Amino acid sequence: MSAAFVSVEDLSIAYGGFQAVDRVSFGIDAGEQVTLLGPSGCGKTTTLRAVAGLERPSAGRILIDGKPAFDGAHGLDTPPEKRNLSMVFQSYAIWPHMTVFENVAFPFRVRGRPSVETRAAVERALALVDLARFAERPATMLSGGQQQRVALARAVAFGTKLVLLDEPLSNLDAQLRLQMRDELADLRKRLGFTALYVTHDQEEAFSLSDHIVVMRGGRIEQAGRPQEIYRNPQSRFVAEFLGMRNIIPCELAGTGEGARLPDGTVLRGRDVAPGTAIEDAAIAFRPGDVRLDDKPGEGQGGSGVVARSLFVGDVQHVFLRSGPVELCAHVRPRPGLDEGRTLFWRVTPEDCLILRK
Ligand SMILES: Nc1ncnc2c1ncn2[C@@H]1O[C@H](COP(=O)(O)OP(=O)(O)OP(=O)(O)O)[C@@H](O)[C@H]1O
Ligand SMILES: [Mg+2]
């Protein structure tokens, strides 16, 4: 592996007696994106702000481009403006009294850059986010998505090698969000900057990242490539957070012998690494991996009565009950999924994960 462009080592940040970030370590290779993913309050923003130099850690080390930016043991703390990075905040933080051009030019102005250089760079950045024609408009006379693009242009215009993004898409509606997500991926590919990204949205994390760091309560719960984390969550917390909505307590025999559900159904699944951080053994699978039929069929599964059936557009959320077992299936909407019906559900061993104590 190449030397990391950003290296966060044993980072701890305390607010009074409260440990907001607790011995967090990860690296970002040059040109790659690492995403901090986790529920509200888990320490994502605090970690990002520490990398930016806006938060003073209580311990640990942060290296950027090989140089220490923070070193708790040696009392070293480089100020934000010397860290050579740019940041996009959750609220787009554009300046309302400035035009689009002036907003993007702002970092150049505070650094006293010549206006010829500034103009060229700003025009290039605005073209990248498709806003060149709005350069002279007051920034407030833009839609939310366009304002977000101004913030992005400002972050990339200066050509810093490291860009920090804190939920940059969270203020956008669903459709714009998807569009901006693609644009962001494209922009990073074209410009090649290294990115540290923060979100609580798993789809955003999966689609944009080279590596994902799942955080919980200030600590790293699991880190790895998107596919790896999606396929092999190492704890009940990560499984749940990544959409394994069906986590059913079960009795386990030996490895590969299957799991007995409380209603007697036996399912086989993939064993994850032992030592999974759960209280009770469980079998986990995603609602989208469940098939529903009117008749019993091939493969493993059981039957249940539809307790609730929710139409949400592309999919129907069907909740089945079989004795003490409840499970959820996401299937294509069709007739015959009504409440009160008895349906047969199927899930392949490949899609089931055994979570051992
Ligand atoms: N200035 C502060 N003083 C005291 N506690 C703080 C401060 N800033 C953050 N915290 C606490 O530290 C923890 C982590 O906060 P942080 O903002 O990093 O969470 P987050 O993961 O970014 O959450 P969200 O997804 O809601 O933005 C939270 O419990 C928060 O209440
Ligand atoms: Mg935050």
Q: Which residues contact 240 (CB under 8 A, 6 or more apart)?
A: 247
What is the tens place of the pLDDT at every residue in 70-129?
A: 999 999 999 998 999 999 887 667 888 899 999 999 989 888 889 999 999 999 999 888
40 lines ligand 1 (CB under 6 A): yes
Percentage of the chain exceeding pLDDT 90 = 69
Task: Give the Å distance between the CA of 253 and the centre of ligand 2.
Answer: 42
Alpha helices in 113-219 (DSSP H): 115-128, 144-157, 174-191, 202-208
175 lines ligand 1 (CB under 6 A): no
Q: State the pLDDT at residue 1.
A: 43
Q: State the pLDDT at residue 275.
A: 53
Nearest residue (by CA) to ligand 1, atom 19, is: 41
Q: What is the DSSP string of 315-355?
A: -EEEEEEETTEEEEEEE---TT--TT-EEEEE--GGG-EEE
Q: Are 191 and 86 in contact (CB under 8 A)?
A: no
200 lines ligand 1 (CB under 6 A): yes
Q: State the pLDDT at residue 352.
A: 94
DSSP 272: P
For the domain 246-356, what is the CATH superfamily, name and number?
A: Nucleic acid-binding proteins (2.40.50.140)
- 6-231: CATH number: 3.40.50.300
Task: Give the Å distance between the CA of 261 and the centre of ligand 2.
Answer: 38
Highest mean pLDDT among 52-56, 105-109, 138-142, 154-158: 52-56
List 308's β-bridge partners, or say none.
Answer: 319
107 lines ligand 1 (CB under 6 A): no
Task: Give the Å distance between the CA of 198 and the centre of ligand 2.
Answer: 7
Model pTM score: 0.89
Task: Give the Å distance between the CA of 56 and the centre of ligand 2.
Answer: 16
Which of 42, 48, 49, 51 has most ligand 1 atoms within 8 Å of its beta carbon, as the pocket-test mutant?
42
* pLDDT band at residue 278 using 50, 70 and 90 as cut-offs: low
Closest ligand 1 atom to residue 46 Cα is 18
Nearest residue (by CA) to ligand 1, atom 22, is: 45
Mean pLDDT of the chain, nearest integer: 91
Ligand nearest to the CA of 37: 1
Ligand nearest to the CA of 40: 1
CA-only gyration radius of the chain, Å: 24
349 lines ligand 1 (CB under 6 A): no
Burial class (CB in 10 A: 0-12, 13-18, 19+), 294: exposed
Could you give the C-alpha distances from 219 to 1, 15, 24, 223, in angstroms and in order?
A: 24, 15, 6, 11
Closest ligand 1 atom to residue 39 Cα is 25
Which of 8, 18, 197 has most ligand 1 atoms within 8 Å of its beta carbon, as the pocket-test mutant?
18
286 lines ligand 1 (CB under 6 A): no
* pLDDT band at residue 276 using 50, 70 and 90 as cut-offs: low
List b or e across 265-287, with b for residues whose CB sees 16 or more CB atoms inside 10 angstroms.
bebbbeebeeebebeeebbbbbb
* Helix (H) / strand (E) containing 41: none
Which of 35, 46, 54, 201 has most ligand 1 atoms within 8 Å of its beta carbon, as the pocket-test mutant?
46
Domain locations in the chain as residue ranges: 6-231, 246-356
What is the tens place of the pLDDT at every residue in 209-255?
A: 999 999 999 999 999 999 999 999 988 899 999 999 999 999 887 66
Q: What CA–CA distance (Å, rounded) separates 344 from 137?
A: 59
Q: Quick one: how many helices (H) and strands (E) in the chain?
A: 8, 23
Ligand nearest to the CA of 54: 1
